[in-house]
Amino acid sequence: MATYKQLLAEKEKIEAQIAEVRATEVAGVIEKIRVLMVEFSLTADDLQPRRRRGRPASGEKTAMAPRTVLPPKYQDPKTGATWTGRGRAPAWLGKNRDKFLIAEA
């Protein structure tokens, strides 16, 4: 069975071989790319991703206006829960909304 130091030495030797083979293969790939770029009259700008029209994807940052917080219009006297009057009405509101209206100051 090999010792720890022997395995480390073997690992370093293999990593050196990997780096050498990668360097030679990358050089060949780069040369192929250059030949194709000349053949098709491409520039580095042609390789850049194109900007798309329309709405940006959800992952991209956009300049959105900050949301304004609306004052509540309705309040549940039992729990203190409030509702602004927008969106789905809470269950505690029921059918008669007038009794939950907050008096304007």
- Pick 50 or 29 by higher pLDDT: 29
SS3 label, residue 9: helix
Band of pLDDT at residue 58, cut at 50, 70 and 90:
low
pTM for the whole thing?
A: 0.41
Residue 41, sorted as left (phi over 0), alpha (psi -120 to 50) or beta, turns out to be left
- Pick 26 or 61 by higher pLDDT: 26
35-45: burial string, b at 16+ Cβ within 10 Å, e else: eeeeeeeeeee
Q: What is the mean pLDDT of residues 2-6?
A: 92
Q: Does position 96 have pLDDT exceeding 80, yes or no?
A: yes
